[in-house]
Structure 1
Amino acid sequence: MEIQSESSMRRRVILFPLPLQGHITPMLQLANGLSEAVVSVADAVAVMTQVNDNCVEPFRDCLSKLLSNVEEEPIACLITDAMLHFTQSVADSLKLPRIVLRTSNISSFLVFAGTPLLHEKGYLPIKDPLSDAPVIEFPPLRVKDIPVVETHDPVKGQHLLLSMISQTKASSGLIWNSCEEIEQDAVTTLKQEFPIPIFTVGPFHKYFPAASSSLLSQDRSCISCLGTRPIARWPFLWVVRPGSVHGAEWLEALPRGFLEMLDGRGHIVKWAPQQEILAHPATGGFWTHNGWNSTLESICEGVPMICHPSFGDQQVIARYVSDVWRVGLHLEKKLEKGEIERAVKRLILEDEGQEIRNRTMDLKEKVDNFSKARGFGISGFRELG
């Protein structure tokens, strides 16, 4: 991508995302915005370790070739995903500023950065994954919320995490898909612990949409489906990504007769245009794993959530949704029919649900007002060029 400098010379910014859907989307959104002013893995640590170990020389060669045209189109900086920590040494060797993009939220990043402290205090390794005991050093987390990435090689997982943190601190700046209206306290703490330029320029999807970033084909039939069903029937739209259930290609794991029993009350798709669905007036709630992109999109559309985190930063985000911002209900790892039914009723029918919707709309309005007042520019990036 190219940007225009104040001296009217065209300069390039090189962006290098991690090849996973949740990381590609915000990187492309960022790239699209600056130009104008799914991989399913069994062991994410193994994949990211291989990328960091094997891409050093090919990446240096590629970047060197791009830099060879420096007189025609100077390169201002390199922007890479935080998990691609190897790019810092390459950037240093070529005397090129590297800015880090972290695609999750700030609060979960601070918890990851505090992993050595969690080991020192005896929280890690986790002895009881269902423990409600508070994590004093990171309120409002409970022990069961501490992010743990499942891997066959914990030593490599620890090395990957520590390298990500150290090379982020060594970078020329840190970009966040977040804003102060959502994470003010976390921003303050981050600036104390990471003395580098901090750019909170989110929510990306509001500034720089990148609809083509999806790795899977979106089924748009669900949009018209939402518009034709009366709210009183409690219809649902369910996205089941192919291969997401172990041992099943798609819907084979559903009970026999389930689809016939729906009688038009539910619609199941393989992938969906999530932002459009959340913005649809028929959407009354969002049951989510609480990936940061999804959580941020839900907040920005004023849609309350039912939280069922699966792994990693999702656990931290879900706790903030339910206990800090109070814009959702937490299932607390109770994936049982009765618990799910109670959560839906609380969110849709009861006074508690209305209070949650009111808080969600208040937070949405704060983010909207903050976004309008701030706008977006690239002057901060020019300084690093």
Structure 2
Amino acid sequence: MFSWIPNFQFKSIPDGLPDDHPRAGVRFMEMFDSFELVTIPLFREMLCSGKLNSATGQSVTCIIADGILSFPIDVGNELGIPVIHFRTGSACYFLACFCIQDMIEAGELPISGNLSHSVMWHPLANSTRQSPRAHSLILNTFEDLEEPVLSHIRTKCPKIYTIGPLHAILKSKLESKTTLLQSQSPNSLFEVDRSCMVWLDAQPFKSVIYVSFGSITTMTKDKLMEFWYGLVNSKKRFLWAIRPDLVIQKDGEGQIPVELVEGTKDRGYMVGWVPQEEVLVHQAVGGFLTHSRWNSTLESIVAGVPMICWPYFADQQINSRFVSEVWKLVMDMKDVCDRVMVENMVNHLMKETREIFRKSIVEKARLAKESVSEGGSSYRNLDHLIKDIRLMSMATTK
């Protein structure tokens, strides 16, 4: 995958969980406790042992760490290595995590009890509060999208690189480098079923609603059936990416109702996983039913595709609320997702209000593309980030 990058090394560190742990759904958070026990000592040992120096003869001069992890800052500061926190989520979610303790203590949120046991507070909010201790902060967003929020964050973390949307800036940086583009491997966690693209080619313009709930969302069979009935009853064409592990209750599934089988045969297409960026820019796709994870949100904005949001957990509720109430780009399903609600919202998006949402989202798409084009804010910020990392290397090796 990385053969075209000289001296690139890929080293893995165990997360301490057994192989059969799902690492998905609500159990995703269990990794944080395991990190404390297993991963931190191994991370420190990797940096101190010289194993990373063998190929290049150079020591580690900078650590870019996932911003939901605070331990790399502790280890980096201990070893005198600058740490850059990289948050792949939205700026609005980062700010919410940063402020939640103050808001609870001020009585601005209706939360009581022992805050140390609050799922909202630990560990994501705690790690966010550690970001000012890092050298700087990378955010997967762009200035024109979240400027008011970014202004607040800069009062806590002055050194910020906004370099998003990441998938768009990658394309922008490599678009003239044909050889490199052809050598890129897909970044999907799952095997992509490209038969969906053939199916889309046969569908009318903007007639399909694409459905995907991401890589770690799980749901009961009953919940899935409500979505399925809603899609079929809407009488709209749909493409649905259903992971094999999406449904958490598989015993006693029984027969699929004939009306769902027939409705899907006539107007639907279901696969395990799709090339999402390609799907969203396909001319047949007119809407996106999403879980509101930030990557999916940005990909839909760049593609100019209106959304229906059904947030699942973590940042998704805040993302969904922000893009629906602040930017007016989506319809927010919130917690209700019975078949009637799904049917009504799909019809509303695909018929009655699509043009209203489309005009708003097309303007955001224009701003996103400007930001990643040469001279745009994200394009410049990525260049500044690379330059600053090189300066760190020079300072460390003197």
Q: Per the shorter chain, which TM-score range?
A: 0.7 to 0.9
**1:218/1:271 contact within 8 Å kept:** yes
Counterpart amino acid of residue 106 in structure 2:
K
Query: Does 1:379 pair with 2:395?
Result: no
- Deviation, 1:118, is 2.6
Matches for 1:318-329 after TM superposition, within 5 Å:
318-329=320-331
TM-score, structure 2 length as denominator?
A: 0.75
Quick one: which of 159, 167, 173 aligns to 2:136?
173
- Deviation, 1:302, is 0.4
Quick one: which of 105, 110, 117 aligns to 1:154?
117
Quick one: which of 191, 194, 215 aligns to 1:220?
194
- Deviation, 1:158, is 3.3
- The residue aligned with 1:332 is 334
Matches for 1:128-207 after TM superposition, within 5 Å:
154=117, 158-195=121-158, 197-207=159-169
**Given the superposition, is the C-alpha separation of residues 265 and 155 from structure 1 closer, same or farther in structure 2, using an over 3 Å criterion?**
closer
**1:49/1:156 contact within 8 Å kept:** no
- Deviation, 1:213, is 2.6
Quick one: which of 30, 34, 45 aligns to 1:50?
34
- Deviation, 1:252, is 6.5
**Given the superposition, is the C-alpha separation of residues 340 and 67 from structure 1 closer, same or farther in structure 2, using an over 3 Å criterion?**
closer
Query: In 1, Cα distance between the equivalents of 2:123 and 2:13?
Result: 16
Query: In 2, Cα distance between the equivalents of 1:192 and 1:18?
Result: 36
Quick one: which of 40, 59, 63 aligns to 2:24?
40
**Given the superposition, is the C-alpha separation of residues 250 and 260 from structure 1 closer, same or farther in structure 2, using an over 3 Å criterion?**
farther
- Deviation, 1:198, is 0.5
| Further displaced range: 176-185 or 64-73 | 64-73
State the SS of the aligned residue for 1:272. Answer: coil
Query: In 2, Cα distance between the equivalents of 1:71 and 1:273?
Result: 35
Quick one: which of 312, 324, 344 aligns to 1:310?
312
| Further displaced range: 269-278 or 368-377 | 368-377
Matches for 1:1-385 after TM superposition, within 5 Å:
39-64=23-48, 65-66=50-51, 72-122=57-107, 124=109, 126=111, 154=117, 158-195=121-158, 197-208=159-170, 211-231=185-205, 234-248=236-250, 255=257, 257-350=259-352, 352-372=353-373, 373-374=375-376, 375=379, 376-377=382-383, 378-385=386-393
- Deviation, 1:203, is 0.9
| Further displaced range: 229-238 or 262-271 | 229-238
**1:13/1:76 contact within 8 Å kept:** no
- Deviation, 1:92, is 1.5
**1:18/1:83 contact within 8 Å kept:** no
- Deviation, 1:44, is 2.4
State the SS of the aligned residue for 1:213. Answer: coil
State the SS of the aligned residue for 1:76. Answer: coil
- Deviation, 1:54, is 1.8
Counterpart amino acid of residue 366 in structure 2:
E
Query: In 2, Cα distance between the equivalents of 1:162 and 1:216?
Result: 29
Query: In 2, Cα distance between the equivalents of 1:15 and 1:358?
Result: 45
Query: In 2, Cα distance between the equivalents of 1:174 and 1:250?
Result: 48
Counterpart amino acid of residue 107 in structure 1:
C
Aligned residues between the structures:
335
**1:240/1:271 contact within 8 Å kept:** yes
- Deviation, 1:246, is 2.2
Deviations 1:205-259 (A, max 9, x none): 1122675332211111111111112356731001122222221289879545522
- Deviation, 1:56, is 1.4
Unmatched runs of 5 consecutive residues or more in structure 1? 5-9, 20-37, 128-152
**Given the superposition, is the C-alpha separation of residues 252 and 356 from structure 1 closer, same or farther in structure 2, using an over 3 Å criterion?**
farther
Counterpart amino acid of residue 123 in structure 2:
L
| Further displaced range: 365-374 or 312-321 | 365-374
**2:13/2:42 contact within 8 Å kept:** no
**2:14/2:39 contact within 8 Å kept:** no
Counterpart amino acid of residue 83 in structure 2:
R
Question: Among the aligned pairs, what percent are the same residue?
Answer: 29
**Given the superposition, is the C-alpha separation of residues 18 and 238 from structure 1 closer, same or farther in structure 2, using an over 3 Å criterion?**
farther
Counterpart amino acid of residue 174 in structure 1:
L
State the SS of the aligned residue for 2:392. Answer: coil
**2:280/2:299 contact within 8 Å kept:** yes
Counterpart amino acid of residue 134 in structure 2:
S
Query: In 2, Cα distance between the equivalents of 1:76 and 1:265?
Result: 55
**1:278/1:297 contact within 8 Å kept:** yes
TM-score, structure 1 length as denominator?
A: 0.77
Unmatched runs of 5 consecutive residues or more in structure 2? 16-21, 172-183, 208-234, 394-398
Query: In 2, Cα distance between the equivalents of 1:319 and 1:66?
Result: 45
**1:278/1:298 contact within 8 Å kept:** yes
**1:102/1:176 contact within 8 Å kept:** yes
- Deviation, 1:11, is 9.3
**Given the superposition, is the C-alpha separation of residues 249 and 269 from structure 1 closer, same or farther in structure 2, using an over 3 Å criterion?**
farther
Query: In 2, Cα distance between the equivalents of 1:289 and 1:369?
Result: 26
Query: In 2, Cα distance between the equivalents of 1:181 and 1:295?
Result: 15
**1:302/1:364 contact within 8 Å kept:** yes
Counterpart amino acid of residue 314 in structure 1:
Q
